[in-house]
Structure 1
């Protein structure tokens, strides 16, 4: 384990690096359909189809490869996986600026998903080097850095695309991620000691071993449902804003609705993380899920844009108590020597939710209307409340009482 005097330095460096990576990755999202038009796809229906495929491609390969990178991280160290992802994405994103058509762009997005994992590897490194009493605060701070990047990226990307053109943005994103990788290479310290495996195991064997420990499988399901419930709304949010506020500047006001949620998330994550270190990660997770679910339902009934804006801000506050808490609980219950594999499988569930959510959201919206998405999201989040209350907390309480009995 790394010396405790180094964990805060690593935390601040990785926060800054995650900000750069998330800024770079989200710079390109707003104008992918426009870039396709520049590459020769002019038919509106074809642009929609290609945009969906290219957006999903990144998640498909990331879903497949996340457990593989987790296994290698347990064998070779978490820092090595951060560097693999950082330098790899820098190359792939730079090459994306040289794309010659939609098939080339699709292939490069598949490659990007395959080698991605910078942020999960950073979470794994910090979870292993942070004292357990400060785990929630540490992962909450990392979350704040990533969210700050996701807020800034689309803004910077839109401005620079207007000034420099689309291809130049990919060169800038590649350079930004390259800087982040070099910062990690020279300034992040990890004293990695691999745990010897008694016998070779397959990915399926690893999954069975990890999920045999309660409540890890329940936490994976919570992660999956959170992503599906919340990401499923995002692609259609601009249409809902247009319904609430007909007229110009729809993109700006849709972006503002996303940004206020991000700012609230960024501010709440460290505070809720520190609070969870004192009161218990599972309880903050439970009440955050309940709060997010209760805030989701009223969004279906808003009559003005400003009502939606307030509710999205409140939603962001609750989000600050979700992912850092899940990651903290996973770290506390991961098998020794399989910590990164535990995170690798959790990331696969996250990517699966990110794929299924928008597809399911589009289907539900088409049948029942956009407002039904908020009701559906609230129901899914209430299901998560039940999972945490009935499957996670009782297991942790039983384990705590067992530990108290042993100590006596």
Structure 2
């Protein structure tokens, strides 16, 4: 039954992640344009507000993620999926009623507080999957999420042009609501592993214990920098597309630029997941970071929209080896009985990077122009590769040698 359940959960949650990610990424291509509709007209103000509002979602997600991890260890991971699914369905629908940038900011903060569907799905799948298949399972899960990321911006751009920005939020909320009901009735959690005995420790004590397991702390740093370097560009990409094209359908072409990267990610994730099971997730992570840096730098100098598309596609191939490798390593390194809390802290670092990236990106764009974002991202990715080479990989080797000696 356990063997059947992990495959069943994997395939169902692949589909669920497709729809949740597709729904949530519908808004990315037109977020700066939605701000203009809400009355923000100054170009520099649009850049700053877009970064702040996109990142605000991840401020509250960063703060609340350890709490959700603790509750998941105690009450089960499926419950966290349901909490996130039904909560986001309501809040995202309400976002369509925003009256200005401040109300939009408030709703994004609330959404971050109750969000976390995809991290919860990763935790549930990684815990129910045999360790020797974790890389494959997380690669498949990533492919499902990224497939949604392929379709979401593309359809979001089309729908924004056809039915208006506000209606897209209502469609998004309905999609997430249906997904939450699918999880409720079809995802099964192993009863023997559902509830863990959680000691009465506070968040700081939990973090100290988890961080003392090397090389988890360097991995948290890597996760943070990956999100800063790569996600910080996304909410501002429509402004770059606007500079590169003369078309009126900016939302559509912005969605296409995001979707082509997601298509490459979706294609590469299962292959790189299997490769990490055979060769080691830490090696896949290192080479993915190096290749990502190589293809990010030229984006600062593109002169046409189609040149940008080519490099975004190549970057998508790298992404297929980044997040699944990090999550696979965290799953294997997590202290026993603290798996969800470890993912909770990992998600906090992820959300922190996803929050700071757009905010810093919006500020940097207003000061030095959007092309400077790609140069900054390249530097951050190279720093990350250095951390993996000299901190993560030696830590993994020491852990393996200790395990063999024991």
TM-score normalised according to structure 1 size? 0.91
Deviates most, 266-275 or 154-163: 154-163
Q: 1:332 to 1:158 in 2, by over 3 A?
A: same
Paired residues of 2:29 and 2:252 also in contact (CA < 8 A)? no
Q: CA deviation at 1:218?
A: 0.4
- Contact (CA 8 Å) 1:93, 1:170: kept in 2 or not? yes
The 1:401–1:343 alpha-carbon spacing in structure 2 relative to 1, beyond 3 Å, is same
Deviation at 1:249, TM superposition (A): 4.8
1:360-389: per-residue Cα shift (whole Å, max 9, x none)? 334444554443332221121111111111
State the match for 2:78 in structure 1.
Answer: 79
1:239/1:174 CA distance change after superposition, 3 Å: closer
Aligned pairs (5 A) from 1:248-287 = 249-287=249-287
Q: Please, which moves more after superposition, 395-404 or 124-133?
A: 395-404
Q: Give the direction of change, closer, same or farther, for the CA distance of 1:361–1:5 in structure 2 (3 Å limit).
A: same
- Match runs of 1:168-187 below 5 Å: 168-187=167-186
Q: Which residue of 1 aligns with 2:127?
A: 128
Partner SS for 2:29: coil
Q: 1-side partners of 2:133 and 2:405: how far apart?
A: 25
How many residues matched?
A: 403
C-alpha distance in 1 between matches for 2:245 and 2:170: 36
1:50 deviates by: 4.8
The match for 1:210 is 210
Partner of 2:327: 327
Q: Secondary structure of 1:124's partner?
A: helix
Partner residue, 1:294: 294
- Are 1:386 and 2:386 counterparts? yes
Cα distance in 1 for residues equivalent to 2:380 and 2:334: 26
1:325 CA drift (Å): 0.3
Closer, same or farther: CA 370–136 of 1 in aligned 2, 3 Å:
same
In structure 1, the partner of 2:316 is 316
* Mapping for residues 186-225 of structure 1, pairs under 5 Å: 186-191=185-190, 192-197=193-198, 199-225=199-225
Q: For 2:368 and 2:49, how far apart are their aligned partners in 1?
A: 25
Residue 156 of structure 1 corresponds to 155
Per-residue deviation, 1:135 = 0.8
Partner of residue 30, structure 1: 29
CA pair 106-301 structure 1, distance change in 2 beyond 3 A: closer
TM-score (norm 2): 0.91
8 Å Cα contact 1:19-1:148 kept in structure 2: yes
Q: 1:165 to 1:299 in 2, by over 3 A?
A: closer
Change (3 A) 1:141 1:48: same
In structure 2, do the counterparts of structure 1 residues 48 and 316 end up closer, same or farther at CA, with 3 Å as the change threshold? closer
What displacement does 1:26 show? 1.8
Identify the residue that residue 144 of structure 2 maps to in structure 1.
145
Unaligned 5+ segments in structure 1 are none
Please tell me whether the aligned partners of residues 194 and 337 of structure 1 are also in contact (alpha carbons under 8 angstroms): no
Partner of 1:346: 346
Cα distance in structure 2, aligned partners of 1:375 and 1:104:
33
Task: Identify unmatched segments of 5+ residues in structure 2.
Answer: none
Aligned to 1:401: 401
The alpha carbon displacement at 1:49 in A equals: 5.5
Shift of 1:42: 5.8
